[in-house]
Structure 1
Amino acid sequence: MSTGRRAWTTALFTVAALTAVLGVTPHRAPVVEPQDELTVRVDTGQVRGARSGAHRVFFGIPYAGPPTGVHRWAAPRPAGHWSGVRDTSRPGPLCPQVPSAYADISSLEEDCLVLNVTAPPKGRGGPRPVLVWIHGDGSVGGGEFFGARGLADRGVVVVTINYRLGIFGGYAQQGLPGSGTFGLQDQQAALRWVQRNAASFGGDPTRVTVAGSSFGAAAITGHLTSPGARGLFHRAVLSSGEGMMDMPAGMMGPEVPGYPWYVWRPAREMREISAEMTASLGCASADPAGTLECLRGLPVKTILKVPHIMNAFQAFGYGNEVLPQLPPTALGAGRFHRVPVLSGATLDEHRTFVGMQYDAVGAPFTTDDYDRALSTAFGADAAVVAREYPVSDFPSPALAWATVVTDRMWALGTAAQHSVLSQRVPLYAYEFADRDAPMYLPLPGDFDFGAFHAGDTPYVFDDAEARAHFTPAQWRLSDTMTDYWAAFARTGAPAAARGVPPWPRYAPGAPVPYTQSLAPDAIGPVDYVRGHRLEFWRRLG
């Protein structure tokens, strides 16, 4: 593996025959009607959940069969049926993953294609909107970590999912159908499950919102352009999405090369990454079928021992049946599913990454580092950028560099995505701007993370550690944001009925397209273009 590509894999934070399931013939459970609202029938059997306050929660419901053996690196297959009532009161297995600097969790379990449902109590009234959450990162995590009591309080049925991560979701090989997209296929299988089963939990399968942050939001950008996702969702929420973001050299680390797109890779490159990352496993063969058979026979533990084998696949392959075209190209041409979109980013996106690499881990980013980083990223234009962002204007070189990358990479990409989407569908843009948002990652150093990447997630989804530090004003912001998200799931517009500030649509032709700033006791319009100096970056090219 080249030095540049190896650096890229270490720097990323964000950045599979129904007649033979597990070797047995599936059978339908006897028809026994649920005895109470905690027992629900889905298409594969009955499940019994638990109460969480006023709500019902169901964990670990299989939405697809185990991606094991010959089904490793294959399209998700139907889940098997079970008899009796399945206990879903406790979380199911996480997909294979290894601990990281920011998430001390691990799993060796491949039978992990499960989802969780948080549902309001049964009551009168019509079916309720459904929100399906796709977590971020792509190499670690699971749906169980995102509590949804706030959204359920507002009448939303929330589904959080597990999907194949890292090499298990992104492996590619010549002649292997679906190469580089198995995680995306899992997500679509979960959305099909929602279409079949949402009504059993009081949900409305005609009002499904798919929402995600970071890598999860990028996945949704892919689903917007994927033929297989047509009709599976009716609104989309993209938080800190990277779908139209490029990456100049050095922005994710001094040795990381530039890429034309942050998360999209052509099929050839996905195959090359796969071959390089699995070379040490002893399965390389002139016969691709032999290589695949060997790799499918390896224990999960053996595969996970390869350094960086999970981070290397925080990207999606295109040029296949799942993503026939590069998603930014499809978006720009208007070839995407017409659904309302709520989309935004945080004010200080890149402070997370600079802090994790430098100041927050005891390796301060210096003025010399800043000069070198500008030169690596911008070449002959480095001096021009330095004049626009003089290091003396910032409390530290680290914050100067984080601001440059936030504006050039994150904000410019976010604005480009807003522009192409808003020309054809209703779009509501936001910027999360709470610079005192509680840092929930286990980072030791003293660093001002500001309104950091994914810092908005605990304001909508329950995170006890982050919320333990909320001030009264932050609780009010959280309530308002949850109102907005629930209203969007319900109607396709963030127009809540609880007296919250109005949120007009983003108008691409307006002198200042409307972007809602979300900060404690300070919700209102912000000039996103001016705030992130986007005209400067557009002129620079």
Structure 2
Amino acid sequence: MRHTRSVSRWSVTALALAALAFGTATAPSSAPPASATAAHERPAGGGTVVTTTGGTVRGAAEAGVRAFQGIPYAAPPVGKRRWAPPKPAARWPGVRDATRPGAPCAQPKGLPIGVPSESEDCLYLNVTAPAASDGERPVIVWIHGGSLMYGTGDMYGPRRLAAEGAVVVSMNYRLGIMGFQGSPAVEGAEGLGLEDQQAALRWVRANAASFGGDAGNVTLMGQSGGGYGVCGHLASPGSAGLFDRAVLQSAPCATGGSRTRAEARAEAERVTEKVGCERHTAACLRRKPVAELLDAYGAFNEPRPVAGTDLMPLAPAEALRTGRFNRVPVLIGVNRDEERGRVLGQELAPGGAPMRREEYEPAVRAEFGADADAVLERYPLSAHGSAGEALAAALTDAEWATPTLDTARLLAKWTPTRMYEFAEDDTPWFNGYPGPSFAPRAQHMAELAYFFDLALFEDVRPEQEPFRDRLLRTWVGFAGSGRTDWPRFREGDRHVQSLSAERWDRADFARDHRYAFWKSVG
């Protein structure tokens, strides 16, 4: 079954849109990390004081939740510790201010799904909890997306999830070349981003109760690149016992989540040659400025942990196929119109335009090669409102819907699994962008506007608040119990729940996305 690298496609689209709407960023973030100033040197805000294993923190209380930001969960991986596994953070004296997020991990410039940064001192997390700390609340650990190249935990405001009753933790983790360094000269650095996430999960087990959370009820939740991180934790022995449930959004483990050692080394060799570190490679790379490494690595890559290592003995797909993974209840889903956003992004990019009808067939042939005739027969232009919509439908079914159903089938053989399709038609568009030529509907990332305060999107319309509330209740309910208000997905009954404001019931997912056809080609 054909599956191309859709997450990288989304990076390209996001960069094009960023240049259109915001211009290209020209300087990295200069904001100091939350640890840069000791608490006694800075006025302490009127927040809540909580004691953690590393020391005492003071957060802020507002709008029915308590928020704590910039808490170190691991020691800064700087100097000789560049590309070293995470180590516990040092304790701090007094009361640490926790009202500002920590520095973003190093990442390239230009994307609205990221924050330009050259910081290596970036291993900080954030906790948002209900205002009342009575009882043990389910804990949701959010792994942000961004192709494992971009993003920060604090970009995604989780106050609604917390108000619904969950303690929500997000973290920054090493990205790109700083978190997934495949050079054999830098031993054991192929999956440091995943190891950082494991360190954050250990911190959560040790500290959740201090924030009113149940340390024995931790749900990992990730979308896109962050979802592939969840795939990695399902497959990694080092994550065993660190989480109790998992939510996979737009991240089909059956076709993603790892790469080969050869792929990682080829990428590392390209960077090593570009920065002139062919001799004394490890020492040379550790001396290089972060900006030079980021420039050599580039903006369009798809870093992943390497399969066949102690961190990830098996690729996620093989781990799920054989049952050799961390078996926890899983909620997995996909957006019904994933690829609409990418096609629209290409239209709106500088020099772009809506796809003309005569461009549809060449585009399908470029995408699908020897299978193009069959694809054109099943996705005729006459059945869609435009060439862009037709292409997006075929790409969504091939690259997202089919492998997500495959992943659910693999999971359900071994562990309780629920599957959904986010199918809302009237979703917010990207904030500040020109209107699209056709409705984005349930495009990639669209569901995030309902779960998080996210500046990337326009506001959800007031009449959709009941739908948003139901989504929030469902996700927090799954975190609490491992169940949903629809049945489990089983091989004998592949139940996929359609989620939209107008419809909350079973979808004919395999038919709607031509699953049998896509399993027959490629």
> 1:325-364, aligned counterparts within 5 Å?
325-358=314-347, 361=350, 362-364=352-354
Residue in 2 that maps onto 1:26: none
Give the partner amino acid of 1:407: D
8 Å contact 1:356–1:443 — kept in the other structure? no
Q: Partners of 1:492 and 1:104 in 2: how far apart?
A: 31
- Aligned with residue 141 of structure 2, among 118, 126, 132: 132
8 Å contact 1:165–1:310 — kept in the other structure? no
Residue in 1 that maps onto 2:120: 110
Residue in 2 that maps onto 1:254: none
Residues 272-320 of structure 1 show CA distances to partners (whole Å, capped at 9, x for unaligned) of 11111342212122xxxx21211111122222233x5243243332221
Name the CA shift for 1:356/1:371 in 2 (closer, same or farther; >3 Å): same
Q: Offset of 1:519 from its aligned partner? A: 0.8
Q: Offset of 1:154 from its aligned partner? A: 2.1
Q: Secondary structure at the match of 1:383?
A: helix
- Aligned with residue 431 of structure 1, among 421, 424, 427: 421
Q: Offset of 1:471 from its aligned partner? A: 3.6
Q: Secondary structure at the match of 1:516?
A: strand
Q: Secondary structure at the match of 1:212?
A: strand
Q: Secondary structure at the match of 2:259?
A: strand
Q: Partners of 1:63 and 1:300 in 2: how far apart?
A: 22
Residue in 2 that maps onto 1:488: 478
Q: Offset of 1:432 from its aligned partner? A: 0.7
Give the partner amino acid of 1:417: T
Q: Partners of 2:510 and 2:390 in 1: how far apart?
A: 18
> 1:460-479, aligned counterparts within 5 Å?
460-463=451-454, 466=457, 468-472=459-463, 474-479=464-469
Residue in 2 that maps onto 1:534: 515
8 Å contact 1:134–1:213 — kept in the other structure? yes
Residues 439-496 of structure 1 show CA distances to partners (whole Å, capped at 9, x for unaligned) of 2365445233221101101211223664634241x211110000001101111112xx
TM-score (normalised: structure 1): 0.85
8 Å contact 1:360–1:444 — kept in the other structure? no
8 Å contact 1:360–1:446 — kept in the other structure? no
Residue in 2 that maps onto 1:264: 258
Residue in 1 that maps onto 2:65: 55
Residue in 2 that maps onto 1:24: none
Give the partner amino acid of 1:439: W
Residues 146-175 of structure 1 show CA distances to partners (whole Å, capped at 9, x for unaligned) of 112222122211001101111111111115
Give the partner amino acid of 1:279: E
8 Å contact 1:147–1:462 — kept in the other structure? yes
8 Å contact 1:359–1:365 — kept in the other structure? no
Q: Partners of 1:443 and 1:318 in 2: how far apart?
A: 39
- 2:229 is aligned with 1:219: yes
Q: Offset of 1:87 from its aligned partner? A: 0.3
Q: Partners of 2:268 and 2:420 in 1: how far apart?
A: 37
Q: Partners of 1:457 and 1:303 in 2: how far apart?
A: 31
Residue in 2 that maps onto 1:322: 311
- Structure 1: any 5+ residue segments left out of the alignment? 16-28, 30-35, 246-261, 495-501
- 2:62 is aligned with 1:71: no
Q: Partners of 1:115 and 1:59 in 2: how far apart?
A: 6
- Structure 2: any 5+ residue segments left out of the alignment? 16-38, 40-45
Name the CA shift for 1:457/1:10 in 2 (closer, same or farther; >3 Å): closer
Q: Secondary structure at the match of 1:387?
A: helix
Name the CA shift for 1:384/1:517 in 2 (closer, same or farther; >3 Å): same
Residue in 2 that maps onto 1:372: 362
Q: Secondary structure at the match of 2:487?
A: coil
Residue in 1 that maps onto 2:22: none
Q: CA RMSD in A?
A: 2.5
Residue in 1 that maps onto 2:21: none
Q: Partners of 2:8 and 2:99 in 1: how far apart?
A: 39
8 Å contact 1:348–1:452 — kept in the other structure? yes
Q: Partners of 1:341 and 1:403 in 2: how far apart?
A: 26
Detail structure 1 runs of 4+ shifted over 4 Å in the superposition: 7-15
Determine what percentage of the aligned residue pairs are the same residue.
41
8 Å contact 1:243–1:417 — kept in the other structure? yes
Q: Partners of 1:202 and 1:92 in 2: how far apart?
A: 22
Residue in 2 that maps onto 1:456: 447
Give the partner amino acid of 2:101: P
- 2:217 is aligned with 1:228: no
Q: Secondary structure at the match of 2:437?
A: coil
